[in-house]
Amino acid sequence: MANEAKNFQLTADDKERYEKRISEIDLSSKEILLNSIPRKIESLRCLPDLKSFQVELIKDISTLYNLITTKKDLNGHAQRRILFALEYFNKITRGGIPSKTLNIALAGTGVGKTMFMTHLASSILLQGKNVLYITLEMAEERIAERIDANLLNIRLDDLTDLPKSMYDKKMEDLRSKFSGRLIIKEYPTAAASTNHFRALLNELNLKRNFKPNIIFVDYINICSSARIRPGQYVNSYSYVKSIAEELRGLAVEFDVPIMSATQTNRQGFQNTDVGLEDTSESFGLPATADFMFAIISNDKLEEVNQILVKQLKNRYGDPTVNKKFLVGIDRAKMKLLDLGDKSQSDLVDTGKVEEKGDDTPVFDTSTKKNKKDFGEFKFE
């Protein structure tokens, strides 16, 4: 089979022709595409002198076709997931964040909670999706500046020095490339609950025809609870757990994922290896969250412009696979960056995430190829 594969090579003309045909495929007509697959497979099977690798390819396509047609919600479910612009996050979530979930970043003060969320918000806008960013700590103008710096790929300090005409032109160029809309809403610290967020979502839908694909809440510990009245005494465990449950209920009600953050406690802030026990104020938060990870920094990591990410809880996959990994940072431009596998060699477990038996698709992006890169295609 290996020898047969070596004899199968695409010429430059082949590559150009296939690239053109791929670019012309109308993905909106997926029913027509699906219906044409059995006929094309049957035509291929009738060809004389099929190579063994071609037979294997036909089998793989047939299996994929059966999977898509028997699990009709699979494709839609995958499309509703929110992709990260970071390879290892897509790996550990098996293809991004699903709807109706609560996702939490845990970090100490100044480590990068808001930078992570504004970077993710920027990357989701570039996917053409709508983002609602709720801030209870930082002014909405400061959040907007961070997202602008990320999108425009310029230093945050240089953003205010950019001439208005140049800024407007750069933003117009960006808007022509993606259709995602961003709305930032600021609330006073500890003065807003899910009741306020629900009213906001309904108002945005009614008055501005805006439905977010994801909601950011920056951050969970300074929200108020809709269930617990002001002045009513409850311990911190019950209070923060109540907020987490209310946010997750909001995610289910509006069929969106919610991304938020929380502080480490004093002990966690001093630790070089953060765990669930370092969650500030309440262990009820990780009990409610679907996905929770720690962002860890120290002087050594800062010197090389990196942060360490550690999985704490993961309902989307196996949290022991790729439990820790490194992410590059550019604090000046409010960006996070993928690092090569060599940078991860001492940290990550390269074991493969196995399917858990449910209908959630498994996406392994470690072998993902650019659709225009035909040079490394292998048939084995």
Read off the pLDDT of residues 140-157 as tens digits, 9 standing for 90 and up: 999 999 999 999 889 998
Q: Is the pLDDT of residue 253 over 60?
A: yes
- 38 and 174 in one domain? no
Total structural domains within the chain: 2
Among 70, 104, 120, the domain-final residue is: 70
Domain that holds residue 27: 2-70
* pLDDT, mean of residues 113-129: 92
Q: Quick check: is 379 in a domain?
A: no
Q: Quick check: is 270 in a domain?
A: yes
Return the residue matching tokens 């990320």: 150
Query: Contact, 288 vs 102, CB < 8 A?
Result: yes
370/321 Cα distance (integer angstroms)? 25
54/58 Cα distance (integer angstroms)? 6
Q: Quick check: is 357 in a domain?
A: no
Cα–Cα distances (Å) from 162 to 148, 153, 156, 158, 247, in that order, read 12, 12, 10, 6, 38
Burial zone of 235 (CB within 10 Å; 0-12 exposed, 13-18 middle, 19+ buried) = exposed
Q: Is the pLDDT of residue 379 over 80?
A: no
Which CATH number do you get for residue 307? 3.40.50.300
Among 35, 70, 105, the domain-final residue is: 70
Confidence class of residue 25 from pLDDT cuts 50, 70 and 90? low
Return the residue matching tokens 């120290």: 298
Segment holding 175, helix H or strand E: helix 164-175
- 143 and 49 in one domain? no
Q: Quick check: is 366 in a domain?
A: no
Burial zone of 329 (CB within 10 Å; 0-12 exposed, 13-18 middle, 19+ buried) = buried
Q: Quick check: is 360 in a domain?
A: no
* pLDDT, mean of residues 166-176: 83
